[in-house]
A and B are shown apart, each in its own frame.
Chain A
Amino acid sequence: MRVTQMMLSQSSLRHINQGYDRLGKIQDQLASGKKITRASQDPVVAMKGMRYRSQVTEVEQFKRNLAEAYNWMDTTDSALDQGTQALARIRELATQAANDSYTPEERANMAKEVAQLREHLESIANSKNSNKYIFNGMNTTTAPVENGVVTTNAQPVEIELMKGVSVQVNVNPQNVFSNELFTDIQALEAALQNEAMTGNELTGFIDTMFGHINNFVAERAELGARVNRVQMMESRLMEQEVIAKRIMSNNEDAEMEQVIIDLMTQESVHRAALSAGARIIQPTLMDFLR
């Protein structure tokens, strides 16, 4: 084939340009850490990438929801614990009072303590978690107990913790802080203040209080069971997060070793092209003619 000077310089220029193009692509990979910087470089990776990114975002969001669920449940649990303690004290007082050896004055004092405990229970019923009443169902902006009147809402508060799986995070307040609870305590107070009451008559209150304590314990047990379920979901979410991130990384992250080796190879090819370019001006016939 006949080869001319112009052809040599053109093809050498083309090779140098191609070298720069490839170097640019590898440097993009190196700088971004991604296999692709444009969707067209690998349409499948790009499409999958969009889906995997969504998945990672979802898992991260569910983790955030999870923290909120724990917040609700932990606050509810400790409130119920305190409620149970208060009720136990009331039952203790009722048990003491059922003993006929106490004088009416002593019983009246007990009535005062029971009144204090009732108010304590009211304030527990009105306890808040991040400015929300936790014992009033969905009606979180209104206090469930106001001036001794209980108006609870039984609607469950649910938080979505996985795609399509929502978990109730509150307890049914009607099972614990019911109107009955407060009227029963008030009845006990009235009975304690009533000098005509015999120990025998007061014995009935012990069982009533027992019943309320059982309600609290039962509700707490159910809440505990739900916490367990949420914990299991948490460990699944953690696993999902690792998997989602790994899949995303496998899909779109560049393999650094590979990229660096590619870079070194391409650099040496490019240097070779450049040094070949430097030799375009070869001696011609003119250099040998006199």
Chain B
Amino acid sequence: MQSTFHGLETARRAMMTQQSALHTTGHNIANANTPGYTRQRVNFTQTEPYPSIGLNAPRLPGHLGTGVAAGSIQRVRESFLDVQYRNENNKVGYWDARYNALEKMEDILNEPSEQGLSRQIDMLWTAFQDLSVDPEDSGARSVVRQRAVAVAETFTFLHSSLTTIQSDYQNEIEVTKDEANAILRQLENINAQIRETEPHGYVTNDLYDEQDRLLDQLSRIMNIKVEREKSGGNPNPAAEGAVTVLLVNDQGQPIENMKLVDAKGLEERKEFSISYDDNQMVNGFTLRLAAEPNTPVGTIELDSMPRGELKALIEAYGFVSNDGIVKGLYPDMLNNLDQLAYVFMSELNAVHSEGYTLASGNQAARQGVLLFDLGTTGPNGEGAASQVKVHADILASLNNIAAASGTDGVFAGDGSNARTLANVKDRILTFNGDNGTVSSFYQGIIGQMAVDTSEAMRMHSSNLALRESVDYRRSSVSNVSLDEEMTMLIQFQHAYNAAARNITMVDEMLDRIINGMGVVGR
């Protein structure tokens, strides 16, 4: 026998459930423009029908429905798109940082232009040519000196500008590492909250959104793989669980001992640390326990860093590779400039010291004067570009520029050594073991940099386009559509109103029974 008040309960359940659906719709509308927000849906489930199964269950036509309940409130999200998004975001992070580093380098070298090093070397050549034509002329000598100063200053300027930017990168590496550590800490906290809440049957949608937002940020810095772990206890089927975050290599394989966050919370909180050698180059990248900084959990070989913004920054700044050599965009460029300055200036010095200076007043023409002072340059030219300057002898007197080669006696009108000096530009010299002229070596450096930059630019923009297309699809699934929410609003509101009408109907029914029945003939 069914209850007299059955209809009332059914209608009440309907009103309650439609109401929670209306509230959820309101929440969606409120968060329509919140970044990282995923639209939510109430999962309607029918309540258990009457009568339930049993030996002494009443014999009635049935089942008779008992109404509706809000089974759970769930996010509408496709985790596969998250995986794709993070993969693309990771590449964007890497190429964006690399492109930025190369772009700054390109700005400093400023080639081809009327101000670059190439132009300065050409101008020194023209000055030598003019001197070879007019070796007696102190004007021509003074131009040679000024142009030589300009070449030396261009080298030191390029060197110091590049070094300044390089040291900024050290700062940026630290900031990015700290950002990653902060994300790891927040993920641990969210995991802990999820582990406490889910066993009670709640679905922590807003925590999942926060988790995904953090994972998106982390994926930009380094390549990660995310695994979800169901909570214990009595979780709702819609519950997603806490996350385990693994560091993966470029092939997507997890790297040994690089579990950044543990979903179960059994492991202690970890953080990254970066170490530097005596020259301040990166020489170690380790994961360690946050509570015990001296206990490393795992290390990563710098030559096979997982892709991401951090890798690009370390590559730009410079690191000690497996074979003990410092590699990196900026160290390589500085090295090349040192090599260029060292070889070119040494050759000019050699030619110059063969020639004879111009005799003046009390000073006879002499041999063996150097044109450039290379300072305390190492045996392979280390640090040449930062220290090179015009030799003090040349700065002391213009006559010390050795324009004469003095084959048969030294004469003022002999400009043949100036001609030889000019032609050093076209001599085949050995740079880093390769043969070539000064300009061909420098063109090679610039060409390499330009190719690297344009590759980084291309990769950056194509990965950006891919990320945007994945993001578009992800938005298509998870974003709030106001029209849709309005439709839902109408739908749920009508259902709510109808349920209320249903109560009125049951009320009238009861009114009939209570007040209108058994009054026949009264």
Task: Say whether, besides A2-B476, A140-B412, A47 and B486 are in contact (CB < 8 Å).
Answer: no
In the complex, which residue of chain B has the Cβ closest to the Cβ of A65?
B133
Which residues does chain B contribute within 8 Å of A51, judged by CB atoms? Answer: 439, 443
Which residues does chain B contribute within 8 Å of A103, judged by CB atoms? Answer: none
Decide: A284 and B482 in contact? CB cutoff 8 A. Answer: yes
Decide: B118 and A138 in contact? CB cutoff 8 A. Answer: no
Taking a contact as CB atoms closer than 8 A, the residue among B118, B407, B476, B487 that contacts A285 in the complex is B487
Which residues does chain A contribute within 8 Å of B413, judged by CB atoms? Answer: 132, 136-141, 157
In the complex, which residue of chain A has the Cβ closest to the Cβ of B464?
A14
Which residues does chain A contribute within 8 Å of B112, judged by CB atoms? Answer: 39, 46, 49-50, 53, 252
B128 CB to nearest A CB, Å: 10
Q: Is B426 an interface residue (CB 8 A)?
A: yes
Interface locus among B85-93, B227-235, B290-298, B448-456: B448-456
Decide: A43 and B122 in contact? CB cutoff 8 A. Answer: no
Q: In the complex the two chains form, what is the Cα distance from A138 to B450 in whole Å?
A: 47
Q: Is B250 an interface residue (CB 8 A)?
A: no
Q: Is A179 an interface residue (CB 8 A)?
A: no
Q: Is B372 an interface residue (CB 8 A)?
A: no
Decide: A68 and B133 in contact? CB cutoff 8 A. Answer: yes
Decide: B479 and A4 in contact? CB cutoff 8 A. Answer: yes
Q: Is A7 an interface residue (CB 8 A)?
A: yes
Q: In the complex the two chains form, what is the Cα distance from A44 to B454 in whole Å?
A: 11
Q: Mark A125-145, 1 if CB is under 8 A from B, else 0.
A: 000001110001111110000
Decide: B130 and A50 in contact? CB cutoff 8 A. Answer: no
Q: Is B186 an interface residue (CB 8 A)?
A: no
Q: Is B397 an interface residue (CB 8 A)?
A: no
Which residues of A in the span 98-146 have a Cβ within 8 Å of any Cβ on B? 130-132, 136-141
Decide: B447 and A46 in contact? CB cutoff 8 A. Answer: yes
Task: Say whether, besides A7-B476, A39-B453, A47-B447, A155 and B408 are in contact (CB < 8 Å).
Answer: yes
Q: Mark B97-117, 1 if CB is under 8 A from A, else 0.
A: 000001100100101100000
Taking a contact as CB atoms closer than 8 A, the residue among B409, B411, B423, B481 that contacts A2 in the complex is B481
Interface residues on B, range: 35 or more
A201 CB to nearest B CB, Å: 41
Which residues of A in the span 59-110 have a Cβ within 8 Å of any Cβ on B? 60-62, 64-65, 68
Decide: A2 and B477 in contact? CB cutoff 8 A. Answer: yes
Q: Is A214 an interface residue (CB 8 A)?
A: no
Decide: A53 and B451 in contact? CB cutoff 8 A. Answer: no
B272 CB to nearest A CB, Å: 32
Q: Is B200 an interface residue (CB 8 A)?
A: no
B288 CB to nearest A CB, Å: 39
Q: Is B119 an interface residue (CB 8 A)?
A: yes
In the complex, which residue of chain A has the Cβ closest to the Cβ of B99?
A40
Q: Is B125 an interface residue (CB 8 A)?
A: yes
Q: Is B129 an interface residue (CB 8 A)?
A: yes
Decide: B439 and A65 in contact? CB cutoff 8 A. Answer: no
In the complex, which residue of chain B has the Cβ closest to the Cβ of A163?
B426
Which residues does chain A contribute within 8 Å of B457, judged by CB atoms? Answer: 40
Which residues does chain A contribute within 8 Å of B476, judged by CB atoms? Answer: 1-4, 7
Decide: B111 and A39 in contact? CB cutoff 8 A. Answer: yes
Decide: B111 and A50 in contact? CB cutoff 8 A. Answer: yes
Q: Is B446 an interface residue (CB 8 A)?
A: yes
Q: Is B392 an interface residue (CB 8 A)?
A: no
Q: In the complex the two chains form, what is the Cα distance from A138 to B359 in whole Å?
A: 14
Number of interface residues of A (CB under 8 A): 55
Decide: B450 and A47 in contact? CB cutoff 8 A. Answer: yes
Taking a contact as CB atoms closer than 8 A, the residue among A58, A131, A155 that contacts B411 in the complex is A155
Decide: B439 and A139 in contact? CB cutoff 8 A. Answer: no
Which residues does chain A contribute within 8 Å of B426, judged by CB atoms? Answer: 163
Q: In the complex the two chains form, what is the Cα distance from A157 to B416 in whole Å?
A: 9
Decide: A285 and B483 in contact? CB cutoff 8 A. Answer: yes
Q: In the complex the two chains form, what is the Cα distance from A130 to B486 in whole Å?
A: 94
Task: Say whether, besides A7-B476, A284-B483, A50 and B450 are in contact (CB < 8 Å).
Answer: no
Decide: A50 and B486 in contact? CB cutoff 8 A. Answer: no
Decide: A160 and B419 in contact? CB cutoff 8 A. Answer: yes
Q: Is B414 an interface residue (CB 8 A)?
A: yes
Taking a contact as CB atoms closer than 8 A, the residue among A1, A40, A50, A153 that contacts B454 in the complex is A40
Q: Is B134 an interface residue (CB 8 A)?
A: yes
Q: In the complex the two chains form, what is the Cα distance from A43 to B412 in whole Å?
A: 45
Which residues does chain B contribute within 8 Å of A38, judged by CB atoms? Answer: 103, 106, 453
Which residues does chain A contribute within 8 Å of B176, judged by CB atoms? Answer: none
Decide: B122 and A57 in contact? CB cutoff 8 A. Answer: yes
Q: Is A31 an interface residue (CB 8 A)?
A: no
Which residues does chain A contribute within 8 Å of B133, judged by CB atoms? Answer: 64-65, 68, 159
Decide: B119 and A40 in contact? CB cutoff 8 A. Answer: no
Q: Is A196 an interface residue (CB 8 A)?
A: no
B337 CB to nearest A CB, Å: 16
Decide: B486 and A140 in contact? CB cutoff 8 A. Answer: no
List 19 additional A-B contacts (Cβ < 8 Å) besides A7-B472, A64-B129.
A3-B476, A3-B481, A4-B479, A4-B484, A6-B32, A6-B33, A6-B479, A38-B106, A39-B453, A40-B453, A44-B447, A53-B122, A57-B125, A57-B126, A64-B130, A153-B411, A155-B407, A160-B422, A166-B419
Top-6 shortest CB links A-B: A140-B413, A40-B453, A43-B450, A39-B450, A138-B411, A4-B479
A-B contact pairs, 28 of them (CB 8 A): A2-B481, A3-B476, A4-B484, A11-B472, A39-B446, A39-B449, A40-B103, A46-B446, A49-B112, A50-B118, A53-B122, A54-B118, A54-B439, A61-B125, A61-B126, A137-B413, A138-B411, A140-B136, A153-B409, A153-B411, A155-B407, A155-B414, A157-B413, A158-B419, A160-B129, A160-B132, A252-B112, A285-B482
